[in-house]
Structure 1
């Protein structure tokens, strides 16, 4: 049991993470989906993870991640950083920026009960070549397994934040903290969390960030770093809606991320470049590039609205997605 002693400065700064962390979510999912019992809760994702393990371009990536990270339990904290929420690339940049001393200490601790291999020893030594190999594996695994489901995962996170915000408004902070998850209990001024490690931890004075995630695993995850808010990632139910029909074929045609951009614009319509980047989990510059490519292909139109540029799916783009042309016309 982990007991978080929260002071007034922490309790005055309780907030929700505004989005899922692409890299952190991928690494938690990669570990979580190895357990057949909990993988049954996310059959579509589990099926993609198995497919990535046995065949396709992501097979080497899966093997690397399985070799370098523990099968269960606590991951090295630096692989789930606070920074890098904007995209997979931003998350990997935050990982690469981790001080070498910290990488060595956390990986060595994670390997305490694991047989040593040359690759693991090089990872524990923060070998730049192995860190780059690790980053490439994360990117490939995300694209193969999570990318087709990312809009649904993002939508689930938003829905959970909305519901929790309503509980806060109706029942106050104690009501919120006491209802997050069965493994989390609020005993003022202590937040008790049944996670993968235990002890007594003082608040940092920088607040508490709550992150509901459908891929947190079977227990909440807690990240405590000096000069940062305490991060509590807690499990929530998987989204019920499956990945869109035809998503894989469209991904092969356009690329997984570009297909997701087109799908999100069809689902919501009229999104600015900034909102689109958040909805898909990519950087602002990447969202702009994908929107430009789709516009040049006649699948998207863009119009300036004050200081923002808003994007809409065209009838051609709607037809490619299987959306009714009348819907596309009304959105555009």
Structure 2
């Protein structure tokens, strides 16, 4: 049994929040391991193509594999209190970039050595020692998010928001203790502590810290705690109704390509130029160009030159992806 000792300050500052960084790490981990989500399926070619970027690859190298569970907490900073939900990821990226070097080295060197069955790669160690890792990790998260999840986030966020609304109602009606116990069978409330069912015993003092309850959609189905960053205490739990009522076909394409890219692919049965696609879809030409670049890197579209124009057309793989999503 793991005991997390809290006080009145912790209870009074308990809040619920999405964690875009945590969802990104879960999707990246699946992509790097060629895994599948039980509801959303294969992370898809865009996610795998994004791994070719060196900063995304660096980020992936700090994720657990082969049965290990520890993820450095600095990769999933505690969500802030900014009232604008759209700013949550930007705040988390900024926290990664500003992480203290001592904290980074403790997590990347000491904790991975303790919790991983594999050694840290020498190249990753050198980046960490150079002091450049924070900026590269922040850039890797921003890149992976833009390439894979930004367009599909509204669909995922709606599941998280429904869970938060449900938990908020429980908190308002029955209090923090009942809310905590309802998150997961492994969680119990002891009045002055949160206890988690674990195969080992321990106690951690988290008094005086905010407690952020973060529902997960793409992350694992168990409970994860985050206490390694000074002053932070995040408890991740599976959001309710993941998979209930979900259309696995139509839902699968959103995290894989996103809404804008799905629209473009649907219109690329015929070869078209960037300008033509912009006129037909209503997106700005720069937006179309950006998405076409991502789709081309993922080998979902081909491009050929016709005089002054570059024409794009979806590949057979993209056609199958669209058909599977119907």
Runs (5+) with no aligned partner, structure 2 = 265-281, 286-326
SS of the residue corresponding to residue 234 of structure 2 reads: strand
10, 19, 22: which one aligns with 1:21 = 19
73, 76, 81: which one aligns with 2:72 = 76
Q: Note the C-alpha offset of 1:155.
A: 0.9
Q: Note the C-alpha offset of 1:65.
A: 3.2
Question: What is the aligned partner in structure 2 of residue 31 from structure 1?
Answer: 29
Distance 1:194 1:35, change over 3 A: farther
Distance 1:103 1:153, change over 3 A: same
- What is the alpha-carbon root mean square deviation over aligned residues? 3.6
TM-score, scaled relative to structure 2:
0.64
Distance 1:14 1:57, change over 3 A: closer
For the Cα contact (< 8 Å) 1:3–1:191, is it kept in 2? yes
Q: Note the C-alpha offset of 1:125.
A: 1.7
Distance in 2 separating the partners of 1:115 and 1:122: 13
For the Cα contact (< 8 Å) 1:205–1:229, is it kept in 2? no
Distance 1:123 1:161, change over 3 A: same
* Residue 4 (structure 2) pairs with residue 11 (structure 1): no
Structure with larger RCO (C-alpha < 8 A, sep 6+): 2
SS of the residue corresponding to residue 179 of structure 1 reads: helix
Distance in 2 separating the partners of 1:179 and 1:74: 25
For the Cα contact (< 8 Å) 2:2–2:200, is it kept in 1? yes
Question: What is the aligned partner in structure 2 of residue 327 from structure 1?
Answer: none
Question: What is the aligned partner in structure 2 of residue 283 from structure 1?
Answer: none
For the Cα contact (< 8 Å) 1:211–1:234, is it kept in 2? yes
Aligned length: 251
Question: What is the aligned partner in structure 2 of residue 251 from structure 1?
Answer: 261
For the Cα contact (< 8 Å) 1:5–1:200, is it kept in 2? yes
* Residue 52 (structure 2) pairs with residue 59 (structure 1): yes
* Residue 40 (structure 2) pairs with residue 43 (structure 1): yes
For the Cα contact (< 8 Å) 1:212–1:234, is it kept in 2? yes
Question: What is the aligned partner in structure 1 of residue 299 from structure 2?
Answer: none
